[in-house]
């Protein structure tokens, strides 16, 4: 078997793309999108027609409303290819607004329902801020499943577990990027590869904590920079992988053995984290706080660029 098929024996493979034409060749179970991926896709002629259709189908609608219809249109197309779930991200400008996040998420689920998609096939993506996690708590209680993204540390993962979220997406590559940049000329790529990669270590820590305490929230490692990071995390519940790395694994014959294993014994869950404890832990982690803020700002920038494209068609 090639490396991708070997990986499937240990981990559920998810495609990280807005390009649904690429999905069928890799046979992922689920797919994830974000504002950056959708923006990248609609700038291709193949997908620009979806943008035009979203505008034409909603004359006079606010730009934000058209953008939501576009995101759902992408999700519906993706669900025609993958057998499982699609993750759709709400407006990143709401990352610190719990009430608005809940309202937006419910509206997106209603749009999917109108397109004939049951809520069980949709994960609402929210940033792993305190407000985003509390929005996820409310949504989960309403039967709307969530995917908490831009997650960089154990404190975020613990708060997500307390909220009972369906799935978290710890970002391997962006953690790796931060430590590599911070280390400068002292960074030793070979020594920090595989299990020593700081992004890999973070996911292992979170996965181990969840399994040790019997936490049911799914761990989906995300944001990979190379196939070595993926192979080092074989056994993680899920991995969302870009098409180029899926292709690389599909063409490789590198052995893939399970590295992450379920716990043999389960301990009592720790006490729930308070907001002040969460904020203190995040403030004490320069990497996590910086990458969380940077990630939100990048998604906001791409969302606003997408809205500019919508306005250009509306004009």
Which of 220, 227, 223, 221 has the alpha carbon at shortest distance from 173?
223
**Containing structural domain, residue 73:** 3-314
For residue 246, give the 3-state DSSP assignment. helix
Determine the Cα–Cα distance for residues 163 and 278; give it in Å rounded to an integer.
13
CA distance 85 to 213: 26
Are the C-beta atoms of 149 and 124 separated by less than 8 Å?
Answer: no
pLDDT confidence of residue 21: 85
> How many structural domains does the chain have?
1
Whole-angstrom distance, CA of residue 53 vs CA of residue 289: 38
Question: Active-site positions?
Answer: 125
Q: Cβ(78)–Cβ(31) under 8 Å?
A: yes
Burial class of residue 25 (count of CB atoms within 10 Å of its CB; 0-12, 13-18, 19+): exposed
pLDDT of residue 104: 98
Q: What is the domain-level CATH number for residue 51?
A: 3.20.20.70
Report pLDDT for 20: 86
Note the pLDDT of residue 109: 98
pLDDT in tens, 242-296: 999 999 999 999 999 999 999 999 999 999 999 999 999 999 999 999 999 999 9
The pLDDT tens digits for 138-147 are 999 999 999 9
* CA–CA separation, 307 and 294 (whole Å): 20
Q: Which residues of the chain have pLDDT under 70?
A: none
- Quick one: pLDDT at residue 194? 95
The answer to whether 128 and 150 are in contact (CB under 8 A) is: yes
């Amino acid at each position: 078997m090639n490396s991708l098929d070997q990986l499937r024996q240990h981990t559920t493979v998810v495609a990280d793309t807005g390009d649904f034409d690429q999905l069928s060749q890799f046979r992922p179970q689920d797919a994830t999108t974000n504002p950056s991926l959708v923006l990248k896709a609609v700038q291709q002629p193949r997908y620009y027609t979806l943008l035009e259709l979203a505008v034409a189908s909603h004359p006079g609608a606010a730009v934000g409303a058209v953008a939501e219809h576009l995101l759902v249109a992408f999700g519906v197309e993706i669900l025609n290819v993958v057998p499982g779930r699609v993750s759709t991200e709400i407006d990143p400008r709401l990352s610190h607004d719990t009430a608005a996040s809940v309202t937006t998420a419910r509206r997106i689920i209603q749009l999917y329902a109108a397109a004939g998609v049951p809520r069980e096939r949709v994960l609402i993506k929210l940033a792993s801020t305190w407000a985003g996690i509390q929005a996820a708590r409310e949504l989960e209680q309403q039967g709307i499943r969530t995917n908490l993204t831009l997650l960089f540390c154990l404190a975020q993962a613990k708060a997500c577990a307390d909220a009972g979220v369906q799935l978290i997406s710890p970002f391997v590559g962006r953690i790796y990027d931060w430590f590599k940049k911070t280390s400068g000329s002292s960074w030793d790529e070979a020594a920090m590869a595989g299990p020593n990669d700081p992004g890999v270590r973070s996911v292992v820590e979170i996965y181990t904590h969840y399994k040790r305490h019997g936490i049911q929230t799914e761990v989906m490692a995300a944001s990979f920079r190379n196939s070595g990071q993926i192979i080092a995390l074989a056994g993680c519940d899920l991995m969302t992988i870009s098409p180029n790395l899926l292709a690389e694994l599909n063409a490789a014959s590198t052995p893939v053995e399970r590295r992450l294993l379920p716990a043999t014994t389960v301990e009592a869950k720790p006490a729930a984290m308070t907001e002040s404890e969460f904020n203190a832990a995040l403030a004490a982690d320069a990497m996590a706080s910086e990458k969380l803020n940077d990630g939100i700002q990048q998604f906001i920038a791409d969302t606003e660029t997408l809205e500019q494209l919508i306005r250009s068609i509306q004009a």
